[in-house]
């Protein structure tokens, strides 16, 4: 079985690859900086960089960047999170050299033309407006702003129209100079190459990257206090998120909480919340729970899209299910089913080699090495009922929960 291969350059750039026999390969460049690393006046700059890095380099114009992968049937893309920026490409394996050179060019030689920056500001404003038009999406960002109030991690990734309007090329260069350092770069690859060939390409295209010194230290989050907030929106359905802070990325109980979250409100239709709130009571159109882990903090939330007049009943039902997980151990059959369900979801998630490549790159960016699928499944299968109850009692604490509600507008009498 092929295993992860690691290769670090003398300048600090790190890389991880998984040899895989296929005509298709996937490559990513991860940068260990995101929206939480922005200063207040820079809000939205990481996302703006993601948009404008494709708009020209010292070697290429925007068209030539986009067509470099398009012309050979590949795909070029990027995304921003609160803790990293990622440029990635999928292509036929024989074009790995081409893709590696292009991503290095984007990372190392982007020129960020002022004219293109102004164009992308308009695109981002439309993106923000589109996002705000969807309460089922915007409530997640509003909840993070509420629980992390006053901390850089609270601010949404897209930015704010007022700060975005003031950003310039100089701001982008200052942000990149402060945060784009070799020791904050990870290259991830899955494809049919030998480790020697892959290492040679990484050396060829990323050895020139300069920049000494450590990455700026992230301000840790402290001082959480539970809050309840109701925001009036023009909605026909009540949208509600409630949750508590949870474990960070490297916490030893992270996997246990992932298993617990899956039982509670994961993607399976048989999750406890879906069965209790939708199937038995028809109180919600949609219900889910999510666990988000960052490098130094995290949270677990439950989102509900609630039928008019059912909010109180839905909240009561939710807490009955949370209290069951705190006080009633899973039987052996229930536990076995939970293990099988998560194991299957993990395996299916890694069936997409693009998804697996992005996952292993992100993990290697923040940890020494990711686990294999088999190792993760073995850890899941070791989790017993007492560990799940212990975690439930640490996280599902009612007076530590925060709640955000977009109430449905009153129905008219006409």
pLDDT digits (tens, 9 = 90+) for 332-357: 999 999 999 999 998 898 889 999 99
Higher pLDDT, 168 or 267: 168
- Mean pLDDT, residues 8-19: 95
CB atoms within 10 A of CB 393: 12
pLDDT higher than 70, residue 276: yes
- Mean pLDDT, residues 231-241: 91
- Residue found under tokens 């920049």: 211
Sign of CA dihedral 82, 87, 90, 96: negative
Q: How confident is the model at residue 1 (pLDDT cuts 50, 70, 90)?
A: very low
- Mean pLDDT, residues 15-37: 97
* Cα 165 to Cα 17, 171, 191, distances in angstroms: 39, 12, 41
**For residue 50, which phi and psi values (nearest 5 degrees)?**
-55, -40
- pLDDT reported for residue 292: 97
- β partners of residue 238: 306
pLDDT higher than 80, residue 311: yes
- pLDDT reported for residue 2: 66
C-alpha span between 373 and 343 (Å, rounded): 9
Q: How confident is the prediction for the chain on average, in pLDDT?
A: 94
- pLDDT reported for residue 252: 94
- Residue found under tokens 């677990």: 300
170 contact partners, CB below 8 Å, separation of at least 6: none
C-alpha span between 137 and 134 (Å, rounded): 5
- pLDDT reported for residue 211: 76
pLDDT higher than 70, residue 133: yes
Structure tokens at 367: 């940890």
pLDDT higher than 80, residue 411: no
Nearest residue to 207 (alpha-carbon basis) of 5, 8, 6: 8
Nearest residue to 383 (alpha-carbon basis) of 340, 344, 335: 335
Which H helix or E strand runs over 313?
Answer: helix 311-327
pLDDT higher than 90, residue 118: yes
Q: Please state the CATH superfamily assignment of the domain spanning residues 228-406 in this structure.
A: Metalloenzyme, LuxS/M16 peptidase-like (3.30.830.10)
Nearest residue to 188 (alpha-carbon basis) of 375, 40, 4, 372: 4
Q: How many CA atoms lie within 13 A of 376 on its CB side?
A: 21
Give percent helix, percent strand, percent coil of the chain, each to the nearest 5: 50, 20, 30
Q: How confident is the model at residue 23 (pLDDT cuts 50, 70, 90)?
A: very high
The strand pair at 284-293 and 298-306 is best described as antiparallel
CB atoms within 10 A of CB 141: 16
- Mean pLDDT, residues 205-217: 87
Q: How confident is the model at residue 413 (pLDDT cuts 50, 70, 90)?
A: very low
Give the residue extent of every domain in the chain: 5-206, 228-406
pLDDT higher than 90, residue 285: no
CB atoms within 10 A of CB 210: 9
Nearest residue to 318 (alpha-carbon basis) of 265, 279, 371, 356: 265
Contact 116, 62 (CB under 8 A): yes
Query: pLDDT per residue over 342-401, tens digit each?
Result: 999 988 988 899 999 999 999 999 877 888 888 899 999 999 999 999 999 999 999 999
User: Do the domains at 5-206 and 228-406 have one common CATH topology?
Assistant: yes
User: In the β-sheet with 228-230, what is the strand arrangement from edge to edge?
Assistant: 228-230, 402-406, 238-245, 298-306, 284-293
**For residue 194, which phi and psi values (nearest 5 degrees)?**
-75, 150
Which H helix or E strand runs over 301?
Answer: strand 298-306
pLDDT higher than 90, residue 269: no
Q: Please state the CATH superfamily assignment of the domain spanning residues 5-206 in this structure.
A: Metalloenzyme, LuxS/M16 peptidase-like (3.30.830.10)
- pLDDT reported for residue 227: 97
């Amino acid at each position: 079985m092929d295993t992860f291969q690691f290769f670090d350059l003398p300048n600090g750039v790190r890389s991880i690859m998984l040899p895989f026999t296929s005509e298709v390969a996937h490559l990513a460049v991860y940068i260990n900086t995101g929206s939480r690393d922005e200063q207040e006046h820079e809000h939205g700059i990481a996302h703006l960089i993601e948009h404008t890095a494709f708009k020209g380099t010292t070697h290429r114009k925007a068209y030539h960047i986009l067509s470099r992968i398009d012309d050979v049937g590949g795909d070029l893309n990027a995304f921003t999170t609160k803790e990293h920026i990622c440029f990635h490409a999928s292509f036929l394996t024989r074009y790995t050299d081409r893709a590696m050179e292009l991503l290095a060019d984007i990372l190392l030689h982007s020129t960020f033309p002022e004219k293109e920056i102004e164009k992308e500001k308009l695109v981002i404003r439309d993106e923000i407006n589109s996002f705000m038009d969807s309460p089922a999406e915007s409530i997640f960002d509003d909840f993070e702003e509420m629980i992390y109030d006053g901390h850089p991690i609270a601010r949404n990734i897209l930015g704010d129209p007022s700060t975005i309007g003031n950003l310039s090329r100089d701001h982008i260069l200052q942000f990149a100079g402060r945060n784009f350092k070799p020791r904050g770069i990870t290259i991830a690859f899955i494809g049919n190459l030998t480790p020697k060939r892959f290492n040679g390409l990484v050396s060829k295209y990323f050895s020139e990257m300069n920049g000494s010194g450590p990455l700026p230290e992230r301000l840790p989050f402290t001082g959480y206090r539970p809050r309840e907030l109701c925001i009036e929106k023009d909605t026909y359905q009540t949208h509600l998120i409630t949750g508590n802070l949870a474990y960070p990325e490297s916490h030893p109980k992270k996997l246990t909480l992932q298993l617990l979250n899956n039982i509670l409100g994961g993607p399976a239709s048989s999750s406890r919340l879906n069965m209790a709130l939708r199937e038995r009571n028809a109180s919600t159109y949609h219900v889910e729970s999510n666990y988000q882990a960052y490098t130094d903090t995290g949270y677990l939330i439950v989102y509900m899209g609630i039928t008019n007049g059912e909010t109180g009943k839905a909240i009561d039902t939710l807490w009955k299910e949370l209290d069951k997980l705190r006080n009633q151990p899973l039987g052996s059959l229930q536990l076995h089913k939970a293990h099988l369900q998560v194991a299957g979801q993990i395996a299916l998630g890694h069936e997409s080699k693009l998804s697996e490549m992005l996952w292993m790159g992100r993990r290697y960016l923040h940890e020494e090495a990711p686990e294999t699928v088999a190792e993760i499944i073995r850890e899941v299968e070791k989790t017993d009922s007492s560990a799940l109850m212990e975690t439930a009692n640490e996280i599902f604490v009612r007076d530590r929960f925060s709640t955000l509600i977009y109430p449905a507008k009153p129905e008219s009498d006409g």
